[in-house]
């Protein structure tokens, strides 16, 4: 099994709220204390009571104010979400910022979503909102449409602390340092897995109307070799790419990347099946 390495720069941008949305009449049930986290580490950690604000956001924290306040503390990042920004809709764009030959082009859009931050007790849910099917709220079918389009939870965060104004403070490090399928480039690049040991967050920058997060992410791509004949030469290579998640750029170069990969595979097969006296 040969591994091709893809190193990506990820930049996630949550734009300013699109419109306010009323909180659901019946909030989702909170999991029982001690319940296991969801698969992939997307559930909240073991239930802990919020701590005093000064215990979580210490004097060592580097804080920047924008649509949310972002606190950087060592290798962790915290969002302090104002109460008036909860249950509002935000546009979340994901782009490949930079890449290398063979894995697409820098600036191509990966995905865009409408999301909402929702406080539920001592947890904050990041929900993805789907507008593919809509109906007039006054129409008879509106209830059926709502029942068939429940907003999915992308990730749940335990509230680490509350500010004096009641704003929840949550640790969002794993949102940008783990492989979250809704924002991941793994499938686009035909990669097998994300290598967390070679991935890191570069920055999380708040602005008055948006937040931009930039991370370098390394993916590995396993390729099944063709059966080798005696004396065959096996060639394995590596690719590096940088990826960005922000803005709405059209996709370019997918056909070029696929053609490039196919050409590499044909060259590898010729080497694998070459006769020993010709190597």
Is 194 a residue whose pLDDT tops 70? yes
Q: In the predicted model, what is the mean pLDDT of residues 16-39?
A: 43
User: Distances from the Cα of 127 to the Cαs of 66, 91, 179, in angstroms?
Assistant: 21, 12, 17
The mean pLDDT value of the chain amounts to 73
Tens digit of each residue's pLDDT (9 = 90 or more) over 231-246: 433 333 333 344 444 4
Q: In the predicted model, what is the mean pLDDT of residues 32-39?
A: 43
Is 138 a residue whose pLDDT tops 80? yes
pLDDT at 136: 85
User: Distances from the Cα of 61 to the Cαs of 58, 81, 168, in angstroms?
Assistant: 6, 16, 16
pLDDT at 41: 55
Q: Is 254:20 a contact under the CB 8 Å cutoff?
A: no
Tens digit of each residue's pLDDT (9 = 90 or more) over 68-90: 999 999 999 999 999 999 999 99
18 against 218, higher pLDDT: 218
pLDDT at 148: 80
Q: Where are the domains of the chain?
A: 2-20+41-278
Is 247 a residue whose pLDDT tops 50? no
Residue 146: pLDDT band (50, 70, 90) is confident
């Amino acid at each position: 099994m040969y591994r091709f390495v893809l190193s990506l720069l990820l930049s996630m941008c949550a734009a300013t709220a699109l419109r306010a949305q009323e909180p659901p009449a019946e909030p989702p049930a909170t999991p029982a204390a001690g319940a296991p986290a969801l698969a992939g580490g997307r559930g909240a950690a073991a239930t802990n009571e919020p701590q005093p604000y000064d215990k979580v956001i210490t004097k060592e924290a580097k804080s920047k104010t924008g649509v949310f306040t972002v606190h950087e503390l060592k290798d962790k990042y915290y969002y302090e979400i104002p109460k008036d920004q909860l249950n509002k809709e935000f546009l979340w764009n994901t782009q490949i910022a930079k890449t290398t030959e063979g894995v697409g082009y820098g600036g191509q859009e990966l995905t865009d979503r409408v999301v909402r931050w929702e406080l539920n007790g001592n947890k904050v849910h990041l929900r993805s909102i789907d507008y593919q099917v809509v109906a007039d709220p006054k129409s008879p079918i509106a209830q059926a449409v709502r029942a068939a389009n429940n907003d999915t939870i992308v990730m749940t965060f335990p509230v680490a602390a509350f500010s004096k104004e009641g704003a929840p403070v949550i640790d969002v490090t794993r949102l940008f340092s783990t492989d979250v399928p809704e924002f991941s480039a793994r499938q686009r690049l035909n990669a097998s897995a994300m290598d967390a040991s070679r991935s890191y967050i570069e920055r999380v920058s708040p602005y008055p109307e948006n937040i931009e997060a930039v991370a370098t992410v390394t993916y590995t791509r396993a390729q099944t070799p063709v059966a080798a004949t005696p004396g065959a030469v096996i060639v394995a290579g590596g690719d590096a790419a940088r990826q960005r998640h922000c803005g709405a750029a059209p996709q370019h170069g997918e056909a070029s990347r696929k053609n490039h990969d196919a050409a590499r595979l044909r060259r590898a097969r010729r080497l694998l099946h070459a006769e020993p006296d010709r190597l």
